[in-house]
Chains A and B, each alone.
Chain A
Amino acid sequence: MLSHLRIIECTSGLESYAGRIFAELGAEVIKLEPKGGDPARKLPPFADGVTDAGLPWLVWNAGKRSVTAIGTLLDAADILLIGEDRGGLPAYDGLAAKNPRLIEVDIRPFSEDGPYGSRPASDLTLMAMSGLLNSVGDPDRAPLNLPGEQIHALVGIQAATAALLAVYARHASGKGQRAVVSAFQSGVLANYRDPLVFDWEGRIGRRTGNQLVRGRSGVRQVWPAKDGYVTWALVDNPGMMKGMVGYMRAKGVGGELLTIDWEHILVANADQADIERWEALIEPFFLAHTKEELFKMSNDAGLGLSRIDDPDDALASPQWNHRRFWRIVDDQARGLALSLPGALFTSSIDMKPRLSPAPALGEANADFGLA
């Protein structure tokens, strides 16, 4: 969709996700690396036999080109994505004097003019400060991070958004401009719950394990099945409750659950002891079935249960493969073939998907006439 845009990226680590998004949308994304390579190339884990970059680098930089000098590339670029380390590039005003249409997006841990300045930060410390992990985890252990590096992903998406907003505005003004995106604020924007609850109700969220808490009681969200886990909860949806109990009745199980008038009970305000007794009746029923059997049963009757897919399930899922989400990137130079996330979404138009392997250091220097 964006094949007419040229993006220069001077970023390291997961600051690089914004460029990955642009590459997926068809833009030309050229990564400027130091002569010795982006330091993030050194981050493990490494695939067997691959030495020039770890797996995270190969994933976040797929679809891009690599140069080790800038030459005049910025004079004809549309967007510069840049981290805190400018890699020796002049300030925006100097760049804009040569290319007034250039849009620069600075990706920073914090705002430029705020109290935290450029204090050291990592994905985990920003997750902590954003409040996103305070209520995640079990009550008997420390708060738990979400998997991956979510703050970097969030700020990457926001940086792509800022760049696209400036592209939209450039059609009216004819001019580029500079934007600054804060990783901390990107995390806080995603934390829609706990600060709001404190502001309006004065309550502070607690870790409740895998329970979904509403009203007076907490209900279980994660259940073991015969071959893995599923998610389902006792909620105030009489249709779902009656449907599940109906299946149990047909199998000759259910005990007390069979006698409950689901139309007139408010599960959210039931006693915790009652809920746990009911959950103890449901657990063996789920354990006696595979997660696929339970998922199919639920989908046939609209019961709201879902498989909890592990990475292998997700990689093999007929759903994501039908939508051509996974893209096998055959990196012949490195002898590595991986299924990587592809399209950000699907479209009625042909988005001409392509995903080249992450570049070797400086592989595009010659193409752009750079030493």
Chain B
Amino acid sequence: MTKPLALEGLKVADFSWVGAGPRSTKDLADNGATVVKIESMKRLDLGRMSPPFKDRKRHHDGSAFFAITNTSKKSVTINLGDPRGVEVAKKLVAWADVVVENFGKGFLDRVGLSYDDMKALRPGIILISVSVAGRTGPLSNFRGYGNSAAALSGQAALAGWPDRPPHMPPFAYGDVVAPMFATVATLSALEHRRQTGEGQHLDISQAEPLMHTLGDLFAAHQAAPADPIRRGNRHPAYAPHGIFPAAGEDNWIAIACQDDAQWASLCRLMGEENATPTLAERKAAEGEIEARLAAWTASQDKQALAGLLVKAGVAAGAVQNGKDVFQDPELQGRHYIPQTHPALGDCFMPAPPMTFSDLSIQVGLSPLLGEHNREIFIDTLGMSEAEVADLIQQGALA
């Protein structure tokens, strides 16, 4: 018997774009919700124009970045700059259980789709808004890009080496964590509605989730404000704890001795006498230990050495680059799911990192732009063929 999908029957109208909203609605869609992505030819989802592209040709259906972010969804085109388009969007809101958006503050209010408007259309509606700093407070109008959330959350200031400036990762980590919180928010709000009948508007910032994951560092800073805030790769509870060179160009291995026994094992492998059996002793000689360890790891293959260390009970892992991760044997078929996509061809799409005893997860295709216009406008919303054709022609459904 086929196992069901967790969210079968759940209906989501997804107005969000790029990463911070769509990654959350992917979670819902892969678990069986019907997610209708409202897009427009007039204002393309920037994710559709983000590389890498199939055959390196920039095309709105050929972005692999867009595909991995939008699996299992349906796409319709609605021009929200046209009042007739807004009327169709209202039908989708009335159909939906959940609406997700990450527009600039005030946009939905201006087109007649405020939370109050939505409640009138669909009592009990759950509205999820994602933005850099949240929709209230002095920075509610702040429109950042990329790493703004890392900057405002303290994450950038806490990242880096003690002797160097703050560090910004080259990817937008806030765009990754916030949608995970948005998924928790959506599922919690659905449970609350089931218990009480009450919907709600949830306001998720990108910065607050980052600060939430850094709660221990904020507490440590309050307890010892004079300590350096940037630690590089060191850890207050473990030593050695770092990234060490391995054989070949730009190859590295992570080693974390989490207790005295792991350090003793590492000493045996290195052929060294254990002169620093306690954490306090290792912390006092940390720089020296790191240098000896680096000299020992530098000529060894990162994967083979990691295998040797974990066999001896020492936590270790090769620093994997994009190629290593893509080819990792644990991930093939578990994380990377093979598909044949009409625009991308044969490709691999990421799955949620969980399995269930009695539920399945299905990573479906990401949609072509407007692929489901007919299915949604006519079959789901009950509009007539003539009306839809007219609105398409007039640019309202485009």
Contacts and interface: CB of A to CB of B under 8 A. Distances in A.
Are A and B subunits of one complex? yes
Interface of A: 1-2, 4-5, 17, 21, 25, 43-45, 47-48, 54-56, 58-60, 92, 110-112, 114-116, 119-131, 133-138, 141-150, 153-155, 157-162, 164-169, 171-173, 175, 177-182, 184-186, 188-201, 203-206, 208, 210-213, 221-222, 224, 229-231, 235, 299, 302, 304, 306-315, 317-320, 322-323, 325, 338-341, 343-349
A51 B64 CA distance: 51
Interface in B141-164: 141-148, 151-161, 164
B115 interface: yes
Contact of B189 (A1, A119, A231): A1
Q: Which of A116, A126, A192, A345 has most chain B Cβ within 10 Å? A: A345
A205 B315 contact: no
Contacts of A213: 170
B387 to A, nearest CB: 34
B286 interface: no
Given A160-B184, A308-B166, A185 B190 contact: no
B382 interface: no
A195 B208 CA distance: 27
A26 to B, nearest CB: 9
Contact of A320 (B189, B208, B355): B208
Contact of B350 (A121, A145, A188, A339): A188
A173 B185 contact: no
B176 interface: yes
B153 A309 contact: yes
B218 A314 contact: yes
Q: Do most interface residues of chain A lie in helix, strand or loop, or is the interface mixed?
A: mixed
17 contacts: A1-B188, A45-B223, A133-B319, A144-B159, A144-B232, A147-B230, A169-B359, A175-B358, A179-B355, A199-B326, A231-B168, A304-B144, A306-B144, A309-B157, A311-B229, A318-B138, A348-B200
Interface in B29-83: 31, 51-54, 56, 64-65, 68-69
Nearest to A190: B176
A111 B164 CA distance: 37
Nearest to A230: B151
Nearest to B331: A188
Nearest to B129: A345
B144 A345 contact: no
Interface residues of B, number: 148
B221 to A, nearest CB: 4
Given A198-B323, A348-B115, A229 B157 contact: yes
B322 A197 contact: yes
B278 interface: no
B258 interface: yes
A236 B213 CA distance: 32
Given A120-B313, A134-B320, A205-B170, A168 B187 contact: yes
Interface in B320-335: 320-326, 328-331, 334-335
B376 interface: no
Nearest 6 pairs of A and B residues by beta carbon: A194-B322, A185-B353, A125-B317, A128-B254, A200-B52, A198-B322
Nearest to B148: A306
B26 to A, nearest CB: 10
Contacts of A212: 146, 168, 170
Interface string B221-249: 11111000111110111100111110000
Contacts of B236: 43-45
A189 B330 CA distance: 13
Contacts of A143: 243, 252, 319
B256 A122 contact: yes
Contact of B218 (A25, A121, A204, A315): A315
Given A153-B212, A346-B134, 10 more contacts: A56-B220, A124-B317, A128-B320, A146-B155, A165-B6, A175-B358, A311-B229, A341-B218, A346-B203, A347-B189
Contacts of B198: 349
Contacts of A45: 220, 223-224, 236
B208 A341 contact: yes
Contacts of A306: 142, 144, 148, 151-152
Nearest to B185: A345
B165 A222 contact: yes
B243 A222 contact: no
Contacts of B134: 319, 323, 346
B253 interface: yes
A182 B353 contact: yes
A282 to B, nearest CB: 16
Contact of A154 (B180, B225, B359): B180
A346 B136 contact: yes
A229 B166 contact: yes
A229 B7 CA distance: 45
B291 interface: no
B335 A185 contact: yes
Contacts of A147: 155, 158-159, 214, 217, 230-231
Given A168-B191, A319-B138, A129 B152 contact: no
A125 B325 contact: no
B254 A166 contact: no
Contacts of A319: 133-134, 137-139, 152
A309 B19 CA distance: 23
Given A325-B208, A345-B185, A167 B191 contact: yes
Contacts of B231: 147
A196 B64 contact: yes
A137 B217 contact: no
B130 to A, nearest CB: 9
Given A125-B256, A125-B315, A133 B243 contact: yes
Given A116-B330, A340-B219, A195 B325 contact: yes
B158 A311 contact: yes
Contacts of B323: 195, 198, 204
Nearest to B361: A165
Q: Which of B138, B144, B154 has most chain A Cβ within 10 Å? A: B154
Contact of A222 (B141, B148, B166, B192): B166
Contacts of A144: 159-161, 167, 232-233, 243
Interface string B189-216: 1111011001011111101110111111
A165 B174 CA distance: 23
B52 to A, nearest CB: 4
